[in-house]
Chain A
Amino acid sequence: MVPATLTLPKVGPVRLSRRSFLNFLSALCLGLSLLLFGQSAWIFAKAQLAQVLLERAFSQSVVTGEPVKAWRWADTWPVARLQIPRIAASAIVLHGGSGEALAFGPALLAETSRIGEPGTAVISAHRDTHFAFLKDVVVGDRITITRDDGLVFTYRVTGTSIVDWNKSGIDRHASGFNLVLATCYPFDAITRGSERYLVHAELVK
């Protein structure tokens, strides 16, 4: 024990500087980790919180018959409620497909048909938030959509497909009353890609 105590002053300075270096690295990594964690948590929180506010705004707009913005500075407004009873999925659909809108909820793409009207309506949402449930949807599932005027439409899932974002093959003027739910594919990918997962459905009533 005694010799060890005697050598301590010699190696002391070396050990001390390595200690602080490692301490510093550890703290740095922890800090960055918390920052990134916070950011991603914020994305999820925003997605969840917005749906609560949107749910309220949507109910209000069904009652009053006028579009109601969920918060004063929103640049979009809820247009429909989408539900898939079998898997107990529900989401408020927004107008337009801007990145802004997609952060808060699924969006009915501008320039596609309105729900319940001839042609194809396309609703798009993030695969990791609002449309995470899309991977559980199977052929035959019923999708009910409540429009902002209170009318309810039921669609039946007819198939799924995987396409490139710019070769969707979706014809907005297709005959019949079609609905396409779209999200990014693969579901568990970590980075963004060009593939999209589509759920095709037809109006039942």
Chain B
Amino acid sequence: MNTYLRARSFKSRLDFIVAIFGLAFVLALTIFGQARAGEMKLALVTPNDVKAGSLLLKSTEGGKYLEAPRLATDFNVTVSGPTARTIVTQRFENPADGFVEGVYVFPLPENSAVDTLKIIAGNRVIVGEVKERQEAKVIYETAKASGQAAALLEQERPNLFTNSVANIGPHETVIVQIEYQETVKQSSGTFSLRLPLVVAPRYMPAPIVQSVDFSNDGYGVTVNDPVPDRERISPPVLDPRKHAPVNPTTISVTLNAGFALGEVKSLYHPIKTDPVSQVISLVDANVPADKDFALEWQAAGTAPQAGLFTETVNGKNYLLGFVTPPVAATNEVFKPRETIFVIDNSGSMEGPSMVQAKDSLIYGLNQMKPGDHFNVIRFDDTMDQLFADAVPADKENIDRAKAFVSRLNANGGTEMIPPMRAALMDSHASDTSHLRQVVFLTDGAIGNEEQLFATISKGLGRSRVFMVGIGSAPNSYLMTRAAELGRGTFTHIGEAAEVTARMQDLFSKIGSPVVTELKAELVGNSAKITPDMLPDLYRGEPVLLMAAARDLSGSLKISGNIGAQPWEVTLPIAKAAKGDGISKLWARRRIADFEVASTLGTLTYDAANKAILAMALDHQIVSSQTSLVAVDKTPKRPPGEKLTRADIPLNLPAGWDYDSVFGEEMPAVEQRDARAEFLQLAMLQKPAAVPGQQQVMLPQTATPAEFMMLIAGILLVLSLAFRLALPRQSPRQM
């Protein structure tokens, strides 16, 4: 009896030890497992301790983070008559203790000819050269690998560029200067200049929407990813609720209009004019780069109706001329219209943009007259067409349309191709009694511009496309090129207060084109005039022409029809004034011609690229085929020292709603953090085996499955052991 009890208690003590041991084992494993899980998650989550306005990049060293370089930008603009030259100074400041490669995606005006890149290091200036894109990339990568300071300026879109600056030393500041030339815009006697300051996050259609282009013989060509360079044009975007605005900007403009100035105004930023130098600058010394800067000026008296300028470069003459045709005020007969309104209600339009778009559309609906027809299409990543076909603009239909528009909410992606196709679908294509117009309201925040251009050029027919750009940072390249291919105009609305005036202007323009059958020729000269495709001219719009020749003489003759009457104007070239940078602008316009020809199919893609390359190299400007690269010959990063890539974060354009753009996915900063880390990992290690090249980093390729299975097994054994350790029950109780 006594022995039995002792045996039982000993056994129980043993059980107890086993149990404690088992529990401790499980506990240890659980803690270990959690720690591992924590490690895995950390790479994806932006730490909470991010300072305002800075982006942290995780480094390979455990627990250490790297702050992205800070950037400040200055724009120095000089307007000389019809052209303007801008010096953009970007200051990259590296707050970190290691060497960093700064990568900044930034916008420039869509018609800009970028010709200069300089690195200013101490008191030395390193001037960049235009090279074929791949060649420039190789030069840059070589310099980067060997520790030299280098800068590479690449064009992603005609209005979107990337500046990569390699080997910015610890706590060092590198200054990069970029210069470009552009033509001043004019419309209805108002001259204007726009500095886009931020790239809006763009919607990238997923590859699933890829299409096969079938030719008539049944063979098709697959269109690959609609945005093959999506990674290159999606920089990190800061959530304005969590971060102070970054990228402070200063702007100064010297305005030599060439005529007595009337009113000068900045549309979105308060400006001041220095009484002595007449230089225009911002009232706030530093503004965050989150909306476009727009400056407008008018002549004191009547606006100039025509202008002719020449420039001689390397013995070759370049000509720039513009004429604003007169408006035949009397006996204008308005044709009835068939107007298709298309409104973008995607997530990027959330906030003020949506209000402006709705107001603009309702203004447009109010302009419909009896006898007109209309329809309304709305789109995000889905689309709805209000009526099956255009309907008469009677009160009932207009009221239905207004109710439809006022109910719209901004949400979802931006699939712009189907609505454009639907808008161009013309049920009576041969009807010439109506003017068919598509009024397309959008911020243009898409990455597949090329697809939209192709859609317009294929389906245009008798329709005309009028782009209305909405918001603080619209994609001007998309708007301008779409309007050019659609033979319409581009109107920009940046604030709710502008809606009435701008839409009024648009609707007076689209009543009827002022000049049709426009032709231009150089009399007594064989030089070719650009653009290839002359537009229909609307009220107040000038025609802007350029030409290049060894010997420019004779005169520029522009002719066309105003209403039913022929109209002609001749500008003698001998009277032309001297202009600045016209050769670059001519080359830039020729490149746009090649791009348009490629979209229209009159030039093959390869032939267009070849022509663009030759033109860009000839005139030393950046294009889709050429980049600017500058390399400091003296290496400064010691061999063995690490280099980390850092994408400069951007602000969200003013008035945008972060959640509507990024809400449905992971927040962009977090998303990018992981990617930045991947890139950074790819850049970090100095390869030993293949010098000058980057090694491939291999991802983690073991699942925790086996590990978990093992623990599961151990636990199962423990469970069984406990059960076996149970004291036997007495037979009587069974």
Contact = CB atoms under 8 A, between A and B. Distances in A.
B207 interface: yes
Contacts of A37: 708-709, 712, 716
Contact of B701 (A21, A35, A127, A163): A127
Contacts of B716: 29-30, 33, 37
A28 B26 CA distance: 11
Q: Determine which residue in B682, B700, B714 has the highest number of CB atoms from chain A within 10 A of its CB, and name it.
A: B700
B701 A125 contact: yes
A32 B705 contact: no
Contacts of A22: 15, 19, 722-723, 725-726
A2 interface: no
Interface stretch (B343-351, B369-377, B529-537, B686-694): B686-694
Q: Determine which residue in B60, B211, B707, B714 has the highest number of CB atoms from chain A within 10 A of its CB, and name it.
A: B707
Contacts of B701: 102, 124-127, 131, 182-184, 196
A69 B693 CA distance: 33
Given A66-B212, A66-B222, A125-B701, A169 B22 contact: no
A26 B705 contact: no
A63 to B, nearest CB: 11
A100 to B, nearest CB: 11
Contacts of B210: 66-67
A44 B708 CA distance: 12
Contacts of B699: 97, 99, 102, 107, 109, 124, 165
B710 interface: yes
Nearest to A170: B696
A42 to B, nearest CB: 8
B388 interface: no
Given A18-B12, A22-B15, A166 B685 contact: yes
Contacts of A180: 696
B702 A189 contact: yes
Interface in B715-730: 715-716, 718-720, 722-723, 725-727, 730
A169 B687 CA distance: 7
A112 B682 CA distance: 12
A166 B697 contact: yes
Interface string A33-62: 111110110011001000000000000000
B695 A173 contact: no
Contacts of A27: 719
B707 A190 contact: yes
A65 interface: yes
A33 B713 contact: yes
Contacts of A25: 19, 22-23, 718-719, 722
B564 interface: no
A169 B689 contact: yes
Nearest to A190: B707
A171 interface: yes
B703 interface: yes
Given A19-B726, A166-B681, A173 B693 contact: yes
A117 interface: no
Contact of A18 (B22, B207, B708, B727): B727
A190 B689 contact: no
| B-side interface size class | 35 or more
Contacts of B722: 22-23, 25-26, 29
B285 interface: no
Contacts of B403: none
Contact of A171 (B208, B690, B723, B727): B690
A192 B682 CA distance: 21
Q: Determine which residue in A7, A68, A99, A124 has the highest number of CB atoms from chain B within 10 A of its CB, and name it.
A: A99
A40 B690 contact: no
B244 interface: no
A30 B12 CA distance: 21
A36 B723 contact: no
A97 B681 CA distance: 14
Interface string B407-448: 000000000000000000000000000000000000000000
Contacts of A122: 696, 698
Interface string B441-465: 0000000000000000000000000
B222 A168 contact: no
A135 interface: no
Nearest to A165: B698
Interface residues of A, number: 74
A32 B706 contact: no
B17 interface: no
Contacts of A166: 60, 681, 684-685, 695, 697-698
Nearest to A21: B19
B270 interface: no
A53 B474 CA distance: 41
Contacts of B301: none
B712 A192 contact: no
Contacts of B1: 3-4, 7
Interface string A176-205: 000010111000011111001000000000
B262 interface: no
A182 B709 CA distance: 24
A16 to B, nearest CB: 10
A60 B687 CA distance: 40
Contact of B708 (A23, A36, A165): A36
Contacts of A192: 700, 702, 704
B572 interface: no
Given A66-B212, A167-B689, A190-B710, A43 B726 contact: no
Q: Determine which residue in B22, B23, B685, B719 has the highest number of CB atoms from chain A within 10 A of its CB, and name it.
A: B719
A19 B220 CA distance: 75
Given A40-B704, A166-B685, A171-B690, A112 B207 contact: no
B28 interface: no
B698 A168 contact: yes
A39 B207 contact: no
Contacts of A69: 208
A18 B701 CA distance: 45
A15 B727 CA distance: 8
Contacts of A160: none
B224 to A, nearest CB: 8
Contact of B726 (A23, A39, A165, A190): A23
B709 A40 contact: yes
B709 A36 contact: yes
A75 B708 CA distance: 27
Contacts of A35: 712
A143 B730 CA distance: 66
A120 B15 CA distance: 59
A19 B697 CA distance: 55
Nearest to A125: B701
B68 to A, nearest CB: 21
A66 B702 CA distance: 31
B711 interface: yes
B16 to A, nearest CB: 9
B220 A128 contact: no
B702 A36 contact: no
21 contacts: A25-B719, A26-B720, A29-B22, A30-B719, A32-B715, A33-B719, A37-B712, A65-B222, A66-B210, A97-B699, A124-B698, A165-B697, A165-B698, A165-B699, A168-B695, A171-B690, A171-B693, A172-B694, A174-B690, A180-B696, A192-B704
Interface of B: 1, 5, 12, 15, 19, 22-23, 26, 60, 207-208, 210-212, 220, 222, 681-682, 684-685, 687-690, 693-716, 718-720, 722-723, 725-727, 730
Interface of A: 3-4, 7-8, 11, 15, 18-19, 21-23, 25-30, 32-37, 39-40, 43-44, 47, 64-69, 77, 97, 99, 102-103, 107, 109, 111-112, 120, 122, 124-129, 131, 149, 163, 165-174, 180, 182-184, 189-193, 196
Given A29-B22, A33-B712, 17 more contacts: A21-B19, A22-B723, A25-B23, A26-B719, A29-B716, A34-B712, A40-B705, A40-B707, A43-B705, A44-B705, A65-B222, A129-B703, A166-B695, A167-B685, A173-B693, A184-B702, A196-B698
